[in-house]
Amino acid sequence: MRLHRKIGVPLVGLALITFFGAIGYVAIEGWGWIDALYMSVITVSTVGFGEVRELSGPGRLFTMFLIVSGVGAALYLLSILSEEVLEGQLRRIFRRSAMERAIQKLEGHVIVCGYGRFGRVVAREIKEAGRSAVVIDEDPGREAELDLLGVPFVIGSAASDEVLERAHIEHASALVVATSSEADGVFITLAARELNPGIRVYARGESEAGVRRLQRAGADQVTSPFQMGGARVAAAILKDTISNFAKPLYVKRR
């Protein structure tokens, strides 16, 4: 919204100058509105297509005034856009630098690899429990959501040793593999074990084969969301059944 307000004034100014130029050509040269508007646009934009028709002396003076006014407004608009782009990039660079310094000071934190539906829940629960966490996700489009969560994050693939080191894995106490790809999960588990042999690895497995491979890769605990959900539903059904069976029977007396 702040950027919209800042560029709104010069944009409106350019539109007014263009409209004023068209009125000027109609009044001074007696042109039709189409020719006048076209001349105003090519003059303000300085594209250099040449004059629509031969200009009179007053028309040439008016054109010079229009060029100076239009170029001034266009340069002002360009300076605002350049400033916003540069400031945005600098803010992003400083923020990431500060975040990386903060991550390097963490001890015993939890690294969450993947910020999908599963990883989002894990990261939120860890934060609400008061534990330090670092999220790794390769999608730059999730930066805004991670900022709102208030958890340090690293953008990149968790399968990369460099990215894991940026998450300070050497001093992490646990790592959660929340990626949707089981192949990536196995690779991340192996990399985590190599970089920090004492870390506890909690992984997400989609299939029985995936669960088995993650366990063989060194994961301490592998969770299958589908199996867990199915087991909870079955347990709830069985609990209700047992409760109903255990209720005492009452015989209505007449």
- Better-predicted residue by pLDDT, 98 or 238: 98
Domains 2-95 and 106-240 share a fold: no
Identify the pLDDT of residue 15: 85
Local confidence band at 205 (pLDDT 50, 70, 90 cut-offs): confident
Report the chain's terminal Cα–Cα distance, integer Å: 76
> Is the pLDDT reported for residue 216 higher than 80?
yes
Identify the pLDDT of residue 154: 93
Identify the pLDDT of residue 1: 46
**Taking Cα atoms as reference points, which of 163, 52, 176 lies closest to residue 126?**
176
Task: Give rounded-to-5 percent helix, strand, coil for the chain.
Answer: 65, 10, 25
Q: What is the domain partition of the chain in residue ranges?
A: 2-95, 106-240
Q: Are 125 and 118 in contact (CB under 8 A)?
A: no
Local confidence band at 93 (pLDDT 50, 70, 90 cut-offs): low
Summarised one tens digit per residue, pLDDT across range 168-192 is 999 999 999 999 888 999 999 999 9
Q: State percent of the chain over pLDDT 70.
A: 82
Identify the pLDDT of residue 150: 87
Identify the pLDDT of residue 111: 96
Architecture per CATH, 2-95:
Orthogonal Bundle (1.10)
* Domain spanning 106-240, CATH class: alpha beta
